[in-house]
Amino acid sequence: MRLAGNPSIADALQWATAAGIDRLDGQLLLLHAVGRPNHDRSWLVTHDDQRLQAPEVGTFEALVARRLAGEPLAYIIGVKEFFGLSFGVSNAVLIPRPDTETVVQWALQTINALETDASTPHILDLGTGSGAIALAIKSQAPQCLVTAIDASATALAQAARNGQQLGLDVTWRQSDWFASVDHLLFDVIVSNPPYIAANDPHLRDLRHEPLSALASGADGLDDLRHIIAHSGPYLREGGWLLLEHGYDQAKPVAELLKAAGFKAIGHQTDLGGVTRCTGGRW
């Protein structure tokens, strides 16, 4: 179904809704098509009788087709909000989720409660992707020195662009987990690693996102095992390892932390009451 004639903004939104597009998604797609900021939805209301130009109609039709095919809105418009910040995203990085704000909040609480003689807490974000965790922490705790690593050069380039756009100073380093971290010591290591089982049927619904940022072995714990087993030498005495994981992985992650020598093991729940994060003190 095509958007016929010389439609107004109201006509275009009505057409998208009839095609099966959520109204908010339709508004954001239309703003993107006409080159307006994502936050400018009020402009659509005050200009609902404005006619679209032919190139704008073609662009909007193409964006709607991509959304109907299941492509995430964030990839189509290239932006996702997280922790009050706007992040550029592409299909090279995982789309930041609200659930991940739980581990950011925990990291900030941990930083505020650190018992250390160091005047500048050192923070490491493992598998940074778009840079969402690292930059959210830096925005709220500017006194910290934040290092963020990722194995993907493309992801790191996206994270660095986000840092530059937000005016936040984070050290970006390409590394396969700890392989290129040298022998630095950190007060807090935080990570949202891949944690979905490789045969999980839900991966089909996430087919547009990078598989390497989602799946982690037969039980989804391969990367969590690696991080827990190798974190000790990179933590100051009394430092913390904070991990996001799947809804049913709190118990095995806690057992892995205990076996590796971590103490004061605890959990954090997300807004839905699901145990989403587990961590411990070195």
Confirm whether 177 is domain-assigned. yes
Confirm whether 53 is domain-assigned. yes
Q: Is the pLDDT of residue 188 over 90?
A: yes
pLDDT averaged over every residue in the chain: 91
Q: Given this model, what pLDDT does residue 128 score?
A: 97
Number of domains in the chain: 2
Shared domain check, 181 and 108: yes
Find the helix or strand (DSSP H, E) in which 250 lies: helix 250-260
3-state secondary structure of 29: helix
Q: Is the pLDDT of residue 91 over 80?
A: yes
Q: Is the pLDDT of residue 197 over 80?
A: no
Token pair of 70, please? 């299941």
Confirm whether 55 is domain-assigned. yes
Shared domain check, 145 and 47: no
Shared domain check, 122 and 52: no
Shared domain check, 125 and 184: yes
Task: Identify the burial level of 8 via C-beta atoms within 10 angstroms of its C-beta, where 0-12 means exposed, 13-18 middle and 19 or more buried.
Answer: middle
Confirm whether 77 is domain-assigned. no
Shared domain check, 112 and 249: yes
Q: Given this model, what pLDDT does residue 2 score?
A: 77
Which of these, 125, 106, 104, 103, lies nearest to 114 by C-alpha position? 106
Please give the Cα distance from 131 to 47 (Å, whole number): 36
Task: Residue 137: give the domain boundaries.
Answer: 92-281
Q: What SS3 string covers 84-136?
A: CEEEECCCCCCCCCHHHHHHHHHHHHHHHCCCCCCCCCEEEEECCCCCHHHHH
Confirm whether 76 is domain-assigned. no
Shared domain check, 265 and 212: yes
Q: What is the pLDDT of residues 231-272, one digit of tens each?
A: 999 999 999 999 999 999 999 999 999 999 999 999 999 888
Q: Is the pLDDT of residue 215 over 80?
A: no
Confirm whether 74 is domain-assigned. no
Shared domain check, 146 and 239: yes
Instruction: Report the share of the chain in percent with pLDDT over 70.
Output: 97
Shared domain check, 233 and 124: yes
Beta strands in 199-274 (DSSP E): 235-244, 263-269
Shared domain check, 122 and 258: yes
User: What average pLDDT score do residues 108-113 get?
Assistant: 94
Q: Given this model, what pLDDT does residue 213 score?
A: 76
Confirm whether 51 is domain-assigned. yes
Shared domain check, 248 and 200: yes
Q: Given this model, what pLDDT does residue 65 score?
A: 94
* More confident call, 163 vs 37: 163
Confirm whether 3 is domain-assigned. no
Shared domain check, 191 and 125: yes
Shared domain check, 97 and 65: no
38-47, 117-126, 150-159: segment of lowest average pLDDT: 117-126
Find the helix or strand (DSSP H, E) in which 186 lies: strand 186-191
